[in-house]
Amino acid sequence: MTAIFCAAVDDLFAWLFLSLALALIGAPGGPSSLLLRLSGLAAYLIVMLGVIRPLAARWTRNLQNAELSFEMLSIVLALTLTSAAATEFIRVHPLFGAFIAGTCFPRVENWQKTMREHLDTLVSVILLPLFFALTGMRTQLSLLYGKSALLWAATVLLAAVFGKLAGAALAARWNGHSWRYAAALGALLNTRGLVELVVLNIAYNVGVFSPTLFSMMVVMALLTTMSTAPILNLLGVEDHSLIKPLPADRPVM
């Protein structure tokens, strides 16, 4: 749960920074177009977080025990698609709009279960394999041959591992956890390859990454994800003694 919460906070800020970067890149234009894109992004966030989210919370407050009907599901999907269309209109990727719509929707457990049952098959069986196939078609491992390319690929991998695994482990250790617990948390936060692949494809589409850099980043995402299970097995996370509460006099930051 700690790893999931940390990853959620990390991804939230990552998407915010990504949206800002996409707004700065945007379509070709002068300073006025850049100002319009940034103003549109700010207005969008104000509307979604300051208006839509409170309205959605009020709408669901009296429906906590109700079943998610097809009409309600249609409203949720329409809100998601509208939010994605709004971010596409202001030259920010539509995936960011869908992400913000998800954060604005209240957490109703039985509704979330119903939505997963309706959408899981479509996403897992059709859309997700197509996404990975598209990423694989864009990855050109032949561009990584040569000492210079391999050196840069190793540098990217080491920087990613240090930033994710070491960063999370040091923060956990600073908060009073054992090195074993801290390393396990860092290993869990080091995985998150799917989110990285999504961001990489977005950056590739807008021309930020060259094919060589894109291939390096994809290899990094795959290797960090593949290394998670071996690291956890090495640490012995199946041993429940790994999870120890903090001392009562130690604040959790």
Tens-digit pLDDT profile for residues 119-133: 777 888 888 888 888
Question: Are the C-beta atoms of residues 209 and 139 closer than 8 Å to each other?
Answer: no
Is residue 32 included in any domain, yes or no? Answer: yes
Domain that holds residue 96: 1-107
- Whether residue 98 is found in the same domain as residue 165: no
First to last CA, the chain: 15
Residues 86 and 168 in one domain: no
Q: What's the whole-number mean pLDDT along residues 29-42?
A: 69
| Highest mean pLDDT, choosing among 10-19, 43-52, 183-192 | 43-52
| Share above pLDDT 70 across residues of the chain, in percent, rounded to a whole number | 87
How much of the chain, in percent, has pLDDT values that exceed 90?
A: 4
In this structure, is residue 121 part of a structural domain? no
Residue 134 within a domain: no
Residues 50 and 151 in one domain: no
The answer to whether the Cα torsion of 198, 199, 202, 204 is positive or negative is: negative
Q: Reply yes or no on whether the pLDDT at 242 is more than 80.
A: no
Where is the domain boundary, 91, 107, 123?
A: 107
Give pLDDT, residue 245.
45
pTM equals: 0.66
Question: Is the same domain home to 145 and 75?
Answer: no
Which tops the pLDDT comparison, 162 or 117?
A: 162
Q: Does residue 212 form part of some domain?
A: yes
pLDDT at 32 over 80: no
- Count of structural domains within the chain: 2
Q: Report which of residues 29 and 18 the model is more confident about.
A: 18
Same domain, 154 and 78: no
Q: Do residues 95 and 150 both lie within one domain?
A: no
User: Which pLDDT does position 28 carry in this prediction?
Assistant: 46
23 within a domain of the structure (yes/no): yes
Residues 6+ apart with CB under 8 A from 201: 131, 134, 135, 138
Assess whether pLDDT exceeds 50 at residue 249. no
- The residue behind tokens 């199946």 is 238
Of 88, 110, 116, 113, nearest in space to 100 by CA:
88
Query: 3-state class of 106 per DSSP?
Result: coil
Are 213 and 151 contained in the same domain?
A: yes
Mean pLDDT taken over the chain = 79
Q: Looking at the structure, do residues 102 and 3 belong to the same domain, yes or no? A: yes
Res 238: pLDDT:
57
Domain end point (choices 107, 124, 153): 107
Label residue 100 exposed, middle or buried (CB < 10 Å: 0-12, 13-18, 19+): buried
| For residue 208, pLDDT beyond 70 | yes
Same-domain pairing of 92 and 168 = no
Encode pLDDT of 160-188 as tens digits. 888 888 888 888 889 888 888 888 888 88
Residues 196 and 103 in one domain: no
Q: Are residues 102 and 195 in the same domain?
A: no
| Domain-embedded: residue 131 | no
pLDDT at 248 over 50: no
In a domain, 132, yes or no: no
In this structure, the answer to whether residues 2 and 71 fall within a common structural domain is yes
Residue 215 belongs to some domain of the structure: yes
Confidence of residue 65 (pLDDT cuts 50, 70, 90): low
Let me know the angle formed at the C-alpha of 193 by 188 and 194, rounded to the nearest 5 degrees: 120
